[in-house]
Amino acid sequence: MNAEGRKKLGMSKKVMEVSCYDYYTSSFKFPGKQELSSHRVITTTLVTAGRFVSAKIGETFFSHIFIDEAGYATEPETLIPLLGLLNDSSQLVLAGDPKQLGPILRSAIATTYGLQLSLLERLMTTKSLPYIRKEERPHYNDRLVTMLVNNYRSYPEIILVSNELFYNNELKCRADERVRSCFCKWKHLPKKDFPVVFDDVIGKDMRKADSPSFYNPAEIIKIVEWVDRLLNDAKGIGVRAEDIGIISPYRKQVQETRIEIRKKLGLRDEIKVGTVEEFQGQERLVIIISTVRSDEKYLDDDAYFKLGFVKSPKRFNVAITRAKALLIVVGNPFLLKFDNSWNRFMTHVFERGGFCGNTDFLPSPDFECPDSDDHNDAIAQGAINEDEGSAFSQQIDLPWKSDK
């Protein structure tokens, strides 16, 4: 099922073969109940599913309703295919990850009233409901919650910190050995058999007059160097530009990185460069992360408006788990170490020998600071940055302020 206004251009052949497309009118159509009844499975978006209710297709029509990426949808969106279609004997399955990014909102009012919390996350964080872990029950109630633990994407060391911080060390690496290990002997790794690199760059946060977003030229230079090595000095691996993804939390860094890659390497759109939000649900053989932030004076604003990587565990979790075989992080360790998630990641990389750059940096393995990703306690108001899509006004007591 497609919206009537959807364009045919760009759709895959396989999708078109099973789509309700009317070649006489050159548009997608809404089939009748009899035609719908001839199919066992119907796939649609949350909003288009509302047409089933408008067409008076009753509550007994669907035996099962599956909502994929349910953690990425607002609760009202999720309710569209449920109200009027779900009955007492129907089975509802919400599939998604409440530890990754939630809905992206552009309205401060919507955020203020809690719409940044998905139905999936609300069910799994409301203590009075049976969807959460309890002290007397270390695992989820398997009649209600199934946690998928087999990871078919990444090399074990790439997901190790995420597994520890977000998934109770339950994830199991099931990725293809040949693919996941293809960079283990690469000569540019600081440590062989450890395809995770943290490249220390003490850059400078900059803005241009035409954008409020930040970029960091020193990190962009370093990114281009890594891409050049990957494409021209990775013999035997056969890396294509399409195998590389570059992630940054700031739109301006994305734009400036694209410009520099075109200028220095002659590539256009072969390498995907995008924000964390654009990479959710995606993967690449190689991921390069640019953290951008290098000036401590902006950290209060980042915490206040929920921008960037610092104090954003969900954005951190999405970014570091996109790589299949090689993860490279470019950033300022002296600033990132004040974030609990990044500090744990850098400590792991440092201990395993994957840290390159300033050898004066020592991570703080026992340091912990409160993460500010608790949607239930945050009250949102004010402007929302174009890149990150959410904001909150709760003032964070930053633990390093007293150390100035």
The pLDDT, as a whole number, for residue 258 is: 97
More confident residue, 403 or 263: 263
Q: Do residues 204 and 335 make contact, with C-beta atoms less than 8 angstroms apart? A: no
The pLDDT, as a whole number, for residue 28 is: 92
pLDDT range class, residue 360, cuts 50, 70, 90: low
Q: Is the pLDDT of residue 362 over 90?
A: no
Q: Is 96 exposed, middle or buried (0-12, 13-18, 19+ CB in 10 A)?
A: buried
Cα gap 267→356, rounded to integer Å: 27
The pLDDT, as a whole number, for residue 373 is: 46
Residue 381, token pair as written in the block: 């108001």
pLDDT range class, residue 393, cuts 50, 70, 90: very low
Mean pLDDT for 90-103 is: 93
Cα gap 184→187, rounded to integer Å: 9
pLDDT range class, residue 341, cuts 50, 70, 90: very high
More confident residue, 35 or 319: 319
Q: Is the pLDDT of residue 386 over 50?
A: no
The pLDDT, as a whole number, for residue 298 is: 67
Cα gap 144→369, rounded to integer Å: 33
Cα gap 195→175, rounded to integer Å: 15
Residue with tokens 């703080």, as numbered in its chain: 364
Q: What is the helix (H) or strand (E) element at residue 305, kind and residue range?
A: helix 299-305
Residue 243 main-chain phi, psi, to 5 deg = -85, -5
Q: Is the pLDDT of residue 204 over 70?
A: yes
The pLDDT, as a whole number, for residue 364 is: 63
Mean pLDDT for 193-202 is: 96
Q: Is the pLDDT of residue 164 over 50?
A: yes
Q: Do residues 246 and 225 make contact, with C-beta atoms less than 8 angstroms apart? A: no
CB atoms within 10 A of CB 331: 26
More confident residue, 335 or 254: 254
Candidate from 64-73, 244-253, 303-312 with smallest mean pLDDT: 303-312
The pLDDT, as a whole number, for residue 303 is: 61
Q: Please list, in sequence order, all residues whose beta carbon lies within 8 angstroms of the beta carbon of residue 221, skipping any fewer than 6 positions away.
A: 260
**% of the chain beyond a pLDDT of 70:** 85
**For all residues of the chain together, what is the average pLDDT?**
85
Give the closest residue to 264 by CA, choosing from 231, 295, 288: 231
pLDDT digits (tens, 9 = 90+) for 10-61: 888 999 999 999 988 889 999 888 888 889 999 999 999 998 888 888 778 8
Mean pLDDT for 174-186 is: 96
Residue with tokens 């990426």, as numbered in its chain: 69
Q: Is the pLDDT of residue 398 over 60?
A: no
Q: Do residues 369 and 341 make contact, with C-beta atoms less than 8 angstroms apart? A: no
Q: Do residues 75 and 54 make contact, with C-beta atoms less than 8 angstroms apart? A: no
Mean pLDDT for 293-314 is: 72
Q: Is the pLDDT of residue 202 over 70?
A: yes
pLDDT range class, residue 70, cuts 50, 70, 90: very high
CB atoms within 10 A of CB 155: 26
Q: Do residues 101 and 276 make contact, with C-beta atoms less than 8 angstroms apart? A: yes
Give the closest residue to 201 by CA, choosing from 180, 220, 188, 184: 220
Q: Is the pLDDT of residue 390 over 90?
A: no
Cα gap 374→104, rounded to integer Å: 15
Q: Is the pLDDT of residue 383 over 60?
A: no
pLDDT digits (tens, 9 = 90+) for 233-284: 888 898 999 999 999 999 999 999 999 999 999 998 899 999 999 999 899 9
The pLDDT, as a whole number, for residue 284 is: 97
The pLDDT, as a whole number, for residue 143 is: 86
pLDDT range class, residue 337, cuts 50, 70, 90: confident
Domain residue ranges in the chain: 13-96, 150-403
Tell me which fold the domain 150-403 belongs to: Rossmann fold (3.40.50)
Mean pLDDT for 333-356 is: 92
Mean pLDDT for 55-75 is: 90
